[in-house]
Amino acid sequence: MPTGNLSDVIVVGAGVVGAACAYYAAGAGLRVTVVDRGCVAGGTTGAGEGNLLVSDKEPGPELELALCSGRLWAELAGTLPPRIEYEPKGGLVVAPGAAGMSALRDFTARQRTAGVTAEETPAERLRDLEPHLAPGLAGGVHYPQDAQVMPALAAAHLLRAAGGRVRLRLGEEVTGLLAGPDGAMRGVRTRHGEIHAPYVVNAAGTWGGELARLAGVELPVLPRRGFVLVTEPLPRVVRHKVYAADYVADVASGSAALQTSAVVEGTPAGPVLIGASRERVGFDRTLSPRALWRLAAGATALFPVLAAVRAMRAYTGFRPYLPDHLPAIGPDPRVPGLLHACGHEGAGIGLAPATGLIVARCVTGAEPPLDIGPFAPDRFAPSACTAPD
Amino acid sequence: MTTSPSELSDPSDPYDLAVVGAGPAGLAGAVAAAERGLRVVLLEAAAHTGGQYYRHPAPAARAARPEALHHGWPVYADLSRRLAGSGVRHCPGHHVWSVTKDAPDGPWSAHCLTGDDGCDERPVRVRARALLLATGAYERQLPFPGWTLPGVVGAGGAQAMLKSGLVLPGRRIVVAGSGPLLLAVASSLATAGAHVPAVIEAAGYLGYARHPRALVTNPWKAAEALVHGTALLRHRVRMVTRSAVTEVHGTGRVEAVTVARLDRDWRPVQGSGRRIACDVLAVGHGLVPQIELATALGCATRRTADGTAALVLDGLQETSVRGLWAAGETGGAGGVQLALAEGELAGISVAVRVRGKRGEGRRIRELRRRRDRLRAFADAMSAVHAPGPGWQRWLTDDTDVCRCEEVTAARIREAADELGARDVRTVKLLTRAGMGWCQGRMCGTAVACLAARGGTPEPPAERRPFAVPVPLSALTALGEPDDDVPR
Amino acid sequence: MARTPADLVGAQPGPPFEITFDGRSVTARPGQTVAAALWGAGIMAWRTTRDGGRPRGVFCGIGQCFDCLATVNGRPNRRACLVPARPGDAIVTQEGHGHDHLAV
């Protein structure tokens, strides 16, 4: 148990990414203090569906991160209590028409070369996988590597499993970062006092940009709003994570306009979750009838049986995204001792373990599990564009 | 195929005012506005007007003396008569699940489900320039071992079932909890033929003595208490203060309750428990303003003296969101006289805003004075009945706190003590308490107290994006809003 | 002095009618909700919970708590305290979420 206000690492943010950073850092023998102005899982983590997805990712650095993370989640599921509701249930991407199916086929061919398992499912076999699916779909692809976890419980149990090396300071907002005469990090200031450590990890999610600014560096994290509809409790009516092929295009889009594609999945607790709208509207939480309509229409088009089912609530979350839709992970070369672990957009739950492992390895001077070049936190700085290699 | 929800109003010609809720405040507001020339629509979930206070049997019961279960029935009879002659479009069976605005300067859209319990196929959208929320309150509950047993009912619930269904839940009914409603409930139940062995009140009524001014300036309140008191005397109902039902006994249904004395902080006094045989317990701890339609729009709230969240209202009943008014219990539970005054004041205030009505100054001043006086009394009363922190002592580890999702006190304490939950929302995420059908209405107060871990609890935020559960078919019927489709 | 609530308000409804609860006949009076009719027959529970299988009936009495959910004429999750009883209604104890037939 860390004593006093001295730790090896301070993690700012008690969401799932911060929790994973703390978990792997503690596992490497470090003393960690996690600071959050709210509660555990109080931000985007608490508003997420708990997607651990490879199916929606193109070959590239994010997919590599997702594959690594998927392996880590499977490991964690053996360590953390069953209450985190880890379900390796697989994803099913369906194409409404022939053109969509052909595009999906091309997409999966490229994914396979990157290590994704993707099994094409002809139209007539779709209902073997999902008996309530609407008739008339052109076909689909089954992704056995997709999984789901209950995000808030996953974050809470990662922190608890990290044990005595992790100290939690909740309800404390970080108001300043402390730097030594050489500019290197030496801790954080909160309204309750100072906490000292040679490393500070920015896992502040949507507020990651603000925290970076406290350190005097620019990290353009922006919120992208999403609504999720939650139905009344049901038996298992949807087995996989099921979504329409246009979801992938929406995820990769930079558009500010509302995009929706039905993403439908059951939960062990009973309710079916229906996502996923994306729009750039700042931090506006007002319910949007248009988004609700699109979500409901998309879900009932895939699963007509849901039309008579009642939605009990809807929740709003803000995905923290960076302009190139890749997270910022690793040491910030501009501020010695500052590391970033934010900007995961809608994939933070899935990408958390690999992110946490990278951060822990960077702090201890070990080799990261994969190439972190594409996630360099200073890649958006004006100087980064002009600097020679 | 997607069809547009039925329109109760021409989109290009909205109502002047939509009133949500046809209880005392809503009726007074609708009538006041309509009598000043406004086009008013009155949306009410129930099949007839009256709300909870003037709840009465359905016409099919053909009750010759509905007033036998009410005080102040002539006031309701008068409002009903004026409503019928006012041109107000009255829409019973309309459950407003959300209020939205398509454009900043545009009208409100009240989205409604229809039918007895909102299960009809036909959703409806009603547009109006101004909105008056008179959605009332629901009863506050605190859990205790055995409170999920059939035969434990809300005190207000027992009264509601009596007033409308003309039924009693049993023969021998203990009434318990806190708040002035308990006396009214016990008096109604006893008058209707039930045996009420005791009313168990957690507060001490002597507390009112600390607010003599509020009492003296509200003589009708004292008169009302006297009426109940007389009825209770006549039916030999024993009044026990500074005590609580700390456990319910029975298998399958209620057979007895344990009543214990409470100390100043509502901690049960050890060894003071004794059993009272009964087949029903009617229990409640005051009222919680029903304000989720407003909080979804960002309306500011305040903490009332007894720890609930109520809407912040200006001198003319407008919320912090322009164009959205509220009256009655939504601004803090305060009883029927206050609701009537606030409803009328809101109705006039909307008429002044929307139609530029003049010459209302005198009536407005009169109503404001009455409102301020009644509000002061309500605040004094709610301070007396605020639950003390010691109530949590009567919870056992396996007491269900969340009735819908069956979440025990032990699991909520674990979330707060060991998993990093510090507020209602995070407890909900980590335990599912408050995620069920009632969306935290029954357990919200208790969860807030447990999450505060001995500190002063924040009132539950009363944020529910859907005020009632909405079939997905009703959401798909929302269609493209007007800003997408040129008209 | 009035001995029943109906006497108290001088109710003179039309003739009572029959509904069924789990197959047995229950008498309802015009103007009553399903819950009121069941209470009138001394029935206090008509749902069992999803996890514990425990009995529930009316709690709040005004449509807020959803404890009184029942399966009415084959349709689950109706709030019995709001739904009027109609002649011939078949009320069935609802087990859990009431949607077992949808399970895959």
More confident residue, B105 or B153: B153
Please tell me if residue B454 touches chain C, with a CB cutoff of 8 Å.
no
**AA identity, residue B74:** P
For residue A240, the chain C residue with the least C-alpha distance is C104
pLDDT at B3: 40
**For residue B425, pLDDT beyond 50:** yes
Thinking of the domain A9-47+152-221+324-385, which architecture would CATH place it in? 3-Layer(bba) Sandwich (3.50)
pLDDT at B482: 42
Residues of A in contact with B473 (CB under 8 A): 296, 300, 307-308
Cα–Cα distance measured from residue B302 to residue A99, given in angstroms and rounded to the nearest whole number: 55
Please name which of A262, A255, A218 lies closest in space to residue A96, comparing C-alpha atoms: A262
Of C97, C100, C104, the CB nearest to A239: C104
- For residue B391, give the 3-state DSSP assignment: helix
Identity of the residue in B45, B68, B165 whose CB atom sits nearest the CB atom of C36:
B165
pLDDT of res. A358: 98
pLDDT of A381 reads: 74
| Residue B37 pLDDT level (bands cut at 50, 70, 90) | very high
Q: Which residues in chain B have Cβ-Cβ distances shorter than 8 Å to A310? A: 469-472
Residues of chain A found within 8 Å of residue B296, distances taken between Cβ atoms: 286-287
pLDDT grade, residue B213 (50/70/90)?
low
Inter-chain contact B57–C9, Cβ cutoff 8 Å?
Answer: yes
User: pLDDT, tens digit, for every residue of B319-355?
Assistant: 999 999 999 999 999 999 999 999 999 999 999 999 8
- Say if C100 is an interface residue toward chain A (CB within 8 Å): yes
Compare CB distances from A287 to B296, B439, B473 and report the shortest one's residue.
B296
CB contacts of A293 in chain B (<8 Å) are 475-476, 478-480
Q: How many residues does chain A have?
A: 389
List the beta bridge partners of residue A169. A35
Closest alpha carbon to A129 in A143, A116, A117, A110? A143
State the Cα–Cα distance between residues B249 and B253, nearest whole angstrom.
8
- Among B237, B282, B242, B279, residue whose Cα is nearest residue B259: B242
End-to-end CA distance of chain B: 21
Tell me if B472 and A315 make a contact (CB, 8 A cut-off): no
Which pLDDT does position A100 carry in this prediction? 86
Q: How far is B263 from chain C (nearest CA, A)?
A: 28
Q: Kindly indicate the confidence band of residue B92, based on its pLDDT and cuts at 50, 70 and 90.
A: very high
pLDDT single digits (tens) C77-92: 999 999 999 999 999 9
Lowest mean pLDDT among A252-261, A269-278, B240-249, B463-472: A252-261
Q: How many CB atoms lie within 10 A of CB A315?
A: 18
Report, at the CATH architecture level, how domain B15-138+288-381 is classified.
Answer: 3-Layer(bba) Sandwich (3.50)
ipTM above 0.95, yes or no: yes
Average pLDDT for B392-418: 97
Cis peptide before B244 (omega within 30 of 0): no
> pLDDT for B257-314, tens place per residue?
999 999 999 999 999 999 999 999 999 999 999 999 999 999 999 999 999 999 999 9
- Indicate the fold that domain B141-285 takes in CATH: FAD/NAD(P)-binding domain (3.50.50)
- Average pLDDT value over all residues in chain C: 95
Contact call for B478 and A310, based on CB within 8 A: no
Q: Look at residue A387 in the predicted model and tell me its pLDDT.
A: 40
Name the CATH superfamily housing domain A91-144+222-321.
D-Amino Acid Oxidase, subunit A, domain 2 (3.30.9.10)
Each residue's pLDDT, cut to its tens digit, for chain A (389 residues) gives 444 578 999 999 999 999 999 999 999 999 999 999 999 999 999 998 899 999 999 999 999 999 999 999 999 999 999 999 999 999 999 998 888 899 899 999 999 999 999 999 999 999 999 999 999 999 999 999 999 999 999 999 999 999 999 999 999 999 999 999 999 999 999 999 999 999 999 999 999 999 999 999 999 999 988 889 999 999 999 999 999 887 666 666 666 666 667 899 999 999 999 987 777 777 777 778 888 888 999 999 999 999 999 999 998 889 999 999 999 999 999 999 999 999 999 899 999 999 999 999 999 999 999 999 999 999 997 754 444 44
Domain spans in chain A, listed from the N-terminal domain onward:
9-47+152-221+324-385, 91-144+222-321
Judge whether B15-138+288-381 and B141-285 match in fold: yes
Q: What is the predicted pLDDT for the residue at B323?
A: 97
Give the length of chain C: 104
Of A239, A305, A310, the CB nearest to C102: A305
Q: With an 8 Å Cβ cutoff, are A312 and B297 in contact? A: no
**pLDDT surpassing 90 at residue B12:** no
Write down the pLDDT at residue B358.
86
* Three-state SS annotation for chain A: CCCCCECCEEEECCCHHHHHHHHHHHHCCCCEEEEECCCCCCCHHHHCCCEECCCCCCCCHHHHHHHHHHHHHHHHHHHCCHHHCCECCCEEEEECCHHHHHHHHHHHHHHHHCCCCCEEEEHHHHHHHCCCCCCCCCEEEEECCCEECCHHHHHHHHHHHCHHHEEEEECCCEEEEEECCCCCEEEEEECCEEEECCEEEECCHHHHHHHHHHCCCCCCCEEEEEEEEEEEECCCCCCCEEEECHHHHHHHCCCCCCEEEEEEEECCCCEEEEEEEEECECECCCCCHHHHHHHHHHHHHHCHHHHHCEEEEEEEEEEEECCCCCCEEEECCCCCCEEEEECCHHHHHHHHHHHHHHHHHHHHCCCCCCCCHHHCHHHHCHHHHHCCC
CA distances for B189 relative to B167, B177, B186, angstroms: 10, 16, 5
Question: E strand or H helix at C56, and its extent?
Answer: strand C55-56
Distance from CA of A383 to the nearest CA of B (A): 41
Quick one: pLDDT at residue A276?
A: 78
CA distances from A348 to A280, A283, A352, C34 (A): 18, 18, 6, 48
Cα–Cα distance for residue pair A48/A43, rounded to 1 Å = 9
The region of weakest confidence among A137-146, B10-19, B336-345, B422-431 is B10-19
Question: How many Å apart are CA B303 and CA A123, to the nearest integer?
Answer: 57
pLDDT at B204: 84
In three-state secondary structure terms, B131 is strand
- Which of A160, A170, A271 has the CB atom closest to B418's CB atom? A160
Average of pLDDT values for B63-77?
91
Can you name the residues that pair with B282 across neighbouring β-strands?
A: B153, B175
- pLDDT higher than 70, residue B198: yes
Confidence at residue A260, expressed as pLDDT on a 0 to 100 scale = 65
- Of B205, B235, B237, which is closest to residue B222 (Cα–Cα)? B205
The CATH architecture that domain B389-451 belongs to is Orthogonal Bundle (1.10)
Tell me the residue type at A228: V
Using a CB–CB cutoff of 8 Å, tell me whether C103 touches chain A.
yes
